[in-house]
Structure 1
Amino acid sequence: MSGVYQLDIIETVAELKELLAIQKTAIAKERVQLLYLLKTRHSQTISQAAEMIGRNRVTVHKWIQQYKTGGIEGLLKRKSSPGRPRTIPNWAEKALDKRLQEPFGFNGYQEIVEWLEQSLGINSCYKTVHKLVYYRLESSPKVPRPKSFEQSKTKVEAFKKTLHTT
């Protein structure tokens, strides 16, 4: 009979039901649903399964080829685009994070830009450094608050002890 698939689905119906329940994306659910329809014989042909899922027959054939070559992992593998490389590499990001953990950091983001250029040889703009430090590293340039020279250390320690913190 023309159009009848020749596919041995290794997973059981129960396993496919479990896989279907734990899928997070719609595409992954559709792919597992295809296997479920074919395994339970709800659809006899690939064209019928494609119509039930709402996908083109060629797309369903591609999914079946992915399943044949890579199994369920190959079918559910997500493609990721490489994207543009970061202007500040991971090793420099770690060095900057370590430097930001020190008690006296930087006076501002522009000083961080200059430090990156002088010590690590990385050219970057202010906006990039701000986004990296503030959002990604969740830190900030450490600027010590001004202290009075007349301030008594014993009074400061006494205040800290009597300060009510909850």
Structure 2
Amino acid sequence: MHVSERDPGDIAELTRRASVETKALQRDRYRAVLLALDGKEAVEIATAVGRSRRSVQDWVYWYRDGGVDNLLPGKSTGRPTKLPRGREAEFMARLDAGPRPEDGVCTLRGKDVVAILEREFGIKYSLDGAYDLLERLGYSCLTPRPRHENSDPQEMERFRQEAPFLSRP
């Protein structure tokens, strides 16, 4: 590979970093650039460091374009969330408020959360994705069994006392 020392002292710095680096991948990056500066070809370097030819080429190009510090790994940001971080508080407030009459349920379940996300936030989530979102936001998918809005506690207790088929202690 045809690459030359970008800044004076880079070879010494790469040698120093390669000797003290504990992470194998990072150490191989330094070694690959050192071998390229020594005039070796990409295939030879790949064989020497035990990595792919394409990876070696990428590392050498990173060095050529940005210097020694450009060989350091960047922060992996990952895929952005469907629900923007700025709207999470709004979504949590909506869940904390409970079901609305237009939801048609007395307790929000996973499929109801999917419907809310699509209807009110304009975001399509799968059922598994909605459960992952709820878990990330600190919600549990377990809730107590809901009580119907027309249930009468006194009538339920009277039934428990007078039912002939229930055994009494």
Q: Please report the TM-score for the alignment, with normalisation by the length of structure 2.
A: 0.52
Partner of 1:159: none
Q: Does 1:75 align with 2:68?
A: no
Partner of 2:18: 16
Structure 1 gaps of 5+ residues are: 151-166
Shift of 1:56: 6.3
Are the equivalent residues in 1 in contact too, given 2:17–2:30 (CA < 8 A)?
no
- 1:137 counterpart letter in structure 2: L
Give the counterpart of 2:92 among 79, 94, 97.
97
CA offsets, 1:46-86, max 9 Å, x none? 24644422356675454323202112232234596976x65
Structure 1 Cα separation of the partners of residues 49 and 84 of structure 2: 43
Higher Cα radius of gyration: 2
Q: Does 1:52 align with 2:52?
A: no
Shift of 1:145: 6.8
Give the length in aligned residue pairs. 136
Change (3 A) 1:111 1:68: same
SS at match of 1:139: coil
Structure 2 Cα separation of the partners of residues 71 and 14 of structure 1: 15
Q: Quote the RMSD (CA, aligned, Å).
A: 4.3
Partner of 1:116: 117
- 1:63 counterpart letter in structure 2: W
Which has the higher mean CA deviation after the structures are superposed, 49-58 or 111-120? 49-58
Structure 2 Cα separation of the partners of residues 31 and 141 of structure 1: 45
